[in-house]
Every structure is written in structure tokens, then in C-alpha cells.
Amino acid sequence: MPFLLPQEEVAAVKATFAAAREALAAGWRSGKDVNRYLEKHADALDEAVRALAAAAGLPARGLSIAAVGGYGRRELFPFSDIDLLVLLEKPIEPSGETAERLSGFLSALWELGLSVGASVRTRDEFLAQAAKDVSIATTYLESRLLWGSETLFEAAREDFYAELDARAFFRDKMFELARRHQRYEDTPYSLEPNLKESPGGLRDIQVFFWCARAAGLGGNAEEMRRAELITAREAETIESCLNFLKTLRISLHLIAGRHEDRLLFDVQERLADDLGYRATAVMRSSEALMKRYYLHAKSVSQMSIIQLQAIADKLLGSNEKATPVRLESAFVARGDEMDLVDDDAFLRDPNALLRSFIVFATHPELTRMSTRLLRALWSASLSMSPAYRSDPANKATFLEILKLPHGTYHALKMMNTWSILGRFLIAFRHIVGQMQHDLYHIFTVDQHTLRVVRNIRRFARSEFAHEYPFCSQVMAEIPENWRVVVAGLFHDIGKGLGGRHEVIGAQKAEDFCRRFGFSKADTDFIVFLVREHLTMSRIAQKEDISDPNVVARFAKIVGSKERLDALYLLTVADIRATSPKVWTQWKAQLLETLYRLALDVLESGGETQPSAKHALQKRVEEAVALMADKVDETDRKRFWANLDVVYFMRHSAREIAWHAEELAANDASPEPIVRAKPSSDMGGLLLLIYLPDRKDLFLRAVAFFGRSGLSVVDARIHTTKSGWALDTFLVTDTYGRFGEREKLDKLERDLALALVSEKPLPPAPKAKLSRRSRHFPTRPVVLITPDESGRAHLLNIVGTDRLGLLFAISAVLGRYGVNLQTAKIATLGERAEDVFLIDGPALQNDETLLKLEAELLEALAAPIR
């Protein structure tokens, strides 16, 4: 029978510990003293551990219980795990008394309300495990004796440090750090960072403390300063960041009531209020908190780079004594390292601060900047004055960075890392650490902006041509492509200032161009791109680009092939930099199609009517060529005679050819025809349905797609002259279940049965909003306006995406007898922006139209349980 500790003693220990924790929480709410909380919490747990060890009757000889990890350094957060090492002089019998008592002790620890991680090892096992696992060795660096044999504990520690290979430890920690950073997108600037694990978080500080301790250079900022590893200002910065991050983590744990290190949207507002942040006219309290977090995360990243490089110099040797090779007046190369000529280089030549990024970018043989140079960059950023920013030489150097054939993105990224970009380019400064409260961006505005610049520059690099070959081809035809980089740098610079950010950004871009002496042509080009950077995406995803009038209007906006090229590239780079979920093959194809159609208009002189006739004729000719000998001409002509001009203008040549191949010889079939095939260029499945039209046909199709895990992204609804529905859907296969032909055949059969079924339609499925959607609900918008032809209406829908949303919208339209001609279903992250071309008598009556709009709003905002 397992050994159980006396329950009255366990209950007393548990009650005492719970009371101590509650007193600490109350004290935290009244005055946030970080170190006092963490140390007193550790002290309370120390007492509980000792009391439980005594109650278990654990021997005081031949056994030691030590606190390790964060608990070992007396940093016990409200719901942190308890890390313990039970050290044995020699192995014990698994069924012996000591083993039973130890098991009872560990079981009792769980009753304290914290997760327990305990390792039981002999002295020899302790050393062997530490030698082969850097994570285990790390926990041993920070250990305190709580109970048992001090002689055993100290002897084991002495053996551990005697065998610790500081170089190997450092090497392994660097690999570990790199892998951890990769898991978090290698950036501190995600919108829901992890306080502990994300780059710029607590773990980064702990890593250089651990490496310094292993190297005998101190285990905290003050000890590192005394060892002359870091400066007094660096020590102060580290302590300030530590205090801030610890404060956040304590409050976050107490608010969540559990171990939670993620700054989720759900808690950001409450956390900000708890820490005294207040909303302003232009910023929420959570935005103010997060902006401060990102500034501290940047400081941690800066300190991490400097400190780890300084430790590497100590452990692995520096290039300080290497023969210097002059790079230019302020810089030398020492081996593969770029260094300053001397400590006063930036004082004598302030422009060298900006030149350092050009020199580094233009010398590929250099792999890093020296610790001295990094410290100089960190310090010099504070000295950037208005006079420095307006100096012609400095402005010329910044332009040279923007025009670099290679290295612009990395130079701007480094400038932002060392706080130089926002201090030199004041317009950029306010977007540093700026939150984006929407459902599709996953980075702060500055990080998104730099990723846009990266994407633009990759279009110009031959080694990346395989990624987006068409974009690379377009980029190759743009003269002075650095102007697109400037537009990318400014495209979102107006965010967070109120009003339309593209208009504000265009004004700021124009001011920049004027101050930096750009020509009028270059200024107009850049300002146009910033002002219109949303236009191409909006038209491609929300309007019917098969309509020549839509294309002609867009072509008139861009005005020239050069502007079209640049706007296309900026649009692709922008969407790709938003979130991995937002960029899809479908969007890529829509943008490329709009680009090619607009280019045709521009090259034909931009005349709308000739373009429309030409487009129709060209589309029919292309369809005939694609069919080749697959379709009998008599069948084709008979089938096409049943279709009107609208059909040919609304479908691509490839779709027209496919329809004819499948239907021309079978257009009189009494059975519904359903065909499915993969769409390699659009990314998804194309589904064709052909059967006598009926009132609820679209609704039945949508309901079937929902049940099958298929999401509609595009729908072309057409009724032939003889009253048959000829509808084409582009759907995405959410669960990847229809990759094989036999499964597609079954999909066709099942959809055909569902379309002719007489069973009542099921109600719209219920669904829960995602956590992100709940925190950033999209204000529902319904807008019905006549289209330019006057024969139909455009229905614009904006709302939070969810399962069954399209079904709910379609059901409302069906109740009002509204016919659906086309549907464009654009999901941006978890925000639905759908556009429908509709017609029907209900749209001609204002009173009915108001009721329809009201019901659509209700469908969008329906409560989700």
C-alpha cells in the first residue's frame, strides 16, 4: 500500500501556503513590488516543501532536495511550475521505505496547487545527465538546497561545475535559442507574444545570464557589470526590462488564474487596466501597454545580441588582435567582423552611423558587426537630432540605403533593431510597436512594413525568381525599382493616426519626397502607389473583373504600364506580408488576371467600348482554341445558342471551354450534371452544376458544401435561355479529402443527389466565434447599390466569418426572391468581405429593400452559442 503523509499535516501546510499566496496577491494589487513578491512566494514554498519533507519522514542523510530553475533562483511566479531535484547518494530500492516516503512527499506537493516537475537522480546520474543534455545542465546552474544533506548537495555541485564545458554549453544554448526563435517567427513583434519564450522575452535574458554563469562571468546584470562584461548603462537597461517583464508576468498569472505566459487579446485590456494604462483619444489602454512591451522587447533583443556576442568573444576568442583591413575612413575588417577604426569614429564622423549599414551590406565577406560597433550603434541612436536628420549628407546616405542593389531590407531591419530607423525617419517612429486591431495582420505595423520591403526586394533577386516568377518578370521591367521600395516603406505609415491611412500615408510620402529632393515624376509615382495601395486588391476581390467596364475604370486609375506594374508588385508584397493565411492561390490568380486585363486596356489605348467587343471576341476565340477537337462544332453552336452575352463576359475562356466539353453533347440530359476537378492555378476545386433551375438551388449547394468541409470562395451563377442553371463554384477543400479521382466522383454523385432532394433544408449551422474574432468583432455592414448597368444590384457584406455564414445570407436572399448572379467570397483572416451581384423585384421597392437589409444584418450579427 503506498505511503500517505498524515492528512492533518498536509492540510495544515496547504492552508498555510494558500494563505501566504493570497496575502501576496492582495499585496500585489495594492503595490507592485516585483522582487518582494517573487522572493516571498519562493520563501513560502520553501517552508511548505520542508514541512512536507519532514511530514514524509525523509532521511536527512544520503538525500538532498534542491530547488532548480526559476524556483532555484527564487523567482516563483504565481502559477509557475515547481522544479525540484531529489539527489541521492546511491540508488534506492523502488519498493523500499525511502522510495515510498519520497513518492508520498511528491504526491503531497501537487496539493499545493502548482504543477510539480521533480527529477530523482543519484549523484552519478546527475553528472551524466547534465553532460549530455543542455536543458538539464541549465537547471543545475540555478539550484538551492531545501532539505537534506548539505555535504551531498555541495559535493555534487562542485563536481558539476568541474565538468561543465562552458564552450560546449554556450554552443548548445545558441542552437537552442535559434530553434526557439524560429518557433516564434523569429520576431518579438507578433500581436500575441509569449512573455517568456518569444524573442525579446524573459527567456532571452535568462539565456545570457546562464551563459555568463557557466563561463564564470556572473549570473546577473550586476555581477556581469563587475566582471566588465557589460557597461553600467547596459546593466541598468537589463534590470529595467527584467522588472517590466516580471511585472507583466505576475499580473498576467493572477488575472488568468493559471500558468499563462501568452499576451492574448483576451487579457491585454484587463492587464493594461491592472497596470494603470489608460486609453487616449488615439490609443486604447491595451495598445499603450503593448507599445511599451514592444519597446522593452526590442531592448531585450538589443541586449541579447550584445551580451551573447561579448560572451562569445570571451569564450571563443575575439578578432580584436586580427590584422585590420581598412574598409573606409570609419571602418575596418578584422577577419569576418566589421569594426570601428576607434572608439571616437562616430564622434568625428557622425554620418558614419548611417554608412555602417551600407558598408556592411556591400561587403558580403563580413558575417557580423563587432561588439564595439554594436554598442556604438545602440548608444549613437539617442544622439539623432533634427539637425542630424536634415543634414544633406545624411539624407543622401539614407537614400543610398534605399537604392542598394542588394541588402536594403537587411539594412532597414538592422536600423530598426537598433532604434535608428524610427529616430532618423520620424514618420516611421510612431508605427514602431504599433498594434493592428484586425483579424488578419499578425505583426505590428513596423514589422509588417519591413516584410513588405523584403518581399519587394525578393522580386528583384534572381535567386528568388522561382518563388513568384511572374512578379520577378514584372519587376525586371520597372525602371528605378527602388521607388517601389520607398512606397512599401510608406504604405502603412499613416496607421494609428486616425482617418484613412492610405491618404495620410500619401501625404507623408509626398513630404518625404519633397524634403529629400525627389523629382516631380518620382514623387508622383511614389505618392500614387501609397495612396492606391489598397485599390487593386479591393477591385480584384470585390468587383467583377470579367466586366470590361470594371477593368477599364481600373486601367484609368493606374494610367500607365509602369504604374500598373508597380501597383501589382506592391499589392502582392503587401498581402503576402500580412499573414500566411491571407495569401492564397485564388487571390494570386485574381490579381494576375486583373493585371493582364488592365494591361490589355492600356495597350489598346484605354477605350472602353472597343475593349469590350474585343474582349468578348477574344474570349470566344480562346475558348474554341482550347477545345480543339474535343467538342463537335454542331453541338457547340447549339449549346452556345442557349447562352447570352452575359455568360460569355462573366466566364473566362478556360471556363467556357470546360463547360462546353462537359455539357455541349449532354445539354438535354434529364439527370443533373455535376463535374469536379482540381484548379491548380486558383488553388482549390472547380465544381460545375447543370440542371433545371429551382428556387432553393444555390442554398442547397451551399448547405452541401458546408457539410462536406468545402468553403466557397467564388461562385458564378447563370441561367440559360431555356431555364437551366449553369453554375460554377470555386471551393477550398478544408480537410484535404478530395485529392483522389474516386473521391471526386463520389463528391459529384453526392452533390447531384443533394441538389434534387425534396427534403426540407436544415437550419443554418451553429458555430462558435474564434477567440480572435470574439476579441476583434467585425462591425457588420450591409450595402445594396445599383450596379453601373442599372440591371442588377451589388450587395456588399462585411462581417466576422463563421461556419454557416454564406448559408445564412443565402437563406435571407431566398426568402425575398432575390436572384444571385455572382458571388465573391473574400475571407481576410477571420473577416468576411463578400460581394454578390443580385437582381429581383424586391430590390425595386424601397420599403422591401430596407427590410431585406435589416434581415441581412441580423443574419450577420446573429448570436453564436
Query: What CATH number is given to the structural domain containing 106?
Result: 3.30.460.10
Distance (Å, whole) CA 605 – CA 341: 59
Same-domain pairing of 209 and 105 = no
Does residue 744 belong to any structural domain of this protein?
no
Does residue 515 belong to any structural domain of this protein?
yes
Q: How many CB atoms lie within 10 A of CB 280?
A: 10
Does residue 448 belong to any structural domain of this protein?
yes
Same-domain pairing of 308 and 436 = no
Does residue 489 belong to any structural domain of this protein?
yes
Q: How many domains does the chain have?
A: 4
Distance (Å, whole) CA 495 – CA 287: 13
pLDDT for res 862: 52
Closest-CA residue to 600 (of 558, 651, 646): 558
Residue 520 phi, psi (nearest 5): -60, -40
**In the structure grid, which three cell numbers stand for residue 657, read together?**
471551354
Same-domain pairing of 543 and 435 = yes
Does residue 536 belong to any structural domain of this protein?
yes
Does residue 741 belong to any structural domain of this protein?
no
Instruction: Tell me how far CA of residue 577 lies from CA of 191, 453, 544, in angstroms.
Output: 14, 9, 25
Same-domain pairing of 465 and 539 = yes
Point out the domain boundary residue: 556, 576, 603: 603
Helix, strand, coil % over all residues of the chain, rounded to 5? 55, 15, 30
Instruction: Tell me how far CA of residue 248 lies from CA of 254, 300, 485, in angstroms.
Output: 10, 15, 37
Same-domain pairing of 124 and 198 = no
- What order do you get walking across the sheet with 819-828 strand by strand? 673-679, 684-692, 724-733, 710-719, 819-828, 831-839, 793-800, 781-786
Point out the domain boundary residue: 317, 351, 373: 317
Give the length of the chain. Answer: 865
Same-domain pairing of 144 and 198 = no
Does residue 325 belong to any structural domain of this protein?
no
pLDDT for res 19: 96
pLDDT for res 245: 97
Does residue 483 belong to any structural domain of this protein?
yes
pLDDT for res 168: 92
pLDDT for res 608: 47
Same-domain pairing of 159 and 175 = no
Say which CATH number the domain at 297 has.
1.20.120.330
Answer whether 230's CB lies under 8 Å from 221's CB.
yes
839: which DSSP letter? E
Distance (Å, whole) CA 130 – CA 126: 6
- Mind listing the pLDDT tens digit for each residue in 269-328? 999 999 999 988 778 899 899 999 999 999 999 999 999 999 999 998 888 778 899 999
Same-domain pairing of 531 and 588 = yes
Same-domain pairing of 157 and 39 = yes
Residue 772 phi, psi (nearest 5): -65, -40
Residue 332: in which H helix or E strand, if any?
strand 331-334
Same-domain pairing of 495 and 574 = yes
Return all residues near 500 (Cβ < 8 A) that are at least 6 apart: 494
Same-domain pairing of 492 and 525 = yes
DSSP per residue, 199-238:
TTSHHHHHHHHHHHHHTTS-SSHHHHHHTTSS-HHHHHHH
Answer whether 796's CB lies under 8 Å from 781's CB.
yes
Record the pTM: 0.80
Q: Is 249 helix (H, G, I), strand (E, B) or coil?
A: helix
Q: How far is CA 853 from the centre of its chain?
A: 35
**Domain residues for 91?**
7-164
685: number of CA atoms within 13 Å, CB side? 28
Distance (Å, whole) CA 752 – CA 672: 6
- Mind listing the pLDDT tens digit for each residue in 814-836? 889 888 887 777 665 567 778 88
Same-domain pairing of 32 and 141 = yes
Residue numbers of the chain with a pLDDT score lower than 70: 1-2, 437-440, 580, 606-613, 615, 764-778, 788-790, 826-830, 862-865
Point out the domain boundary residue: 286, 317, 348: 317
Say which CATH number the domain at 865 has.
3.30.70.260
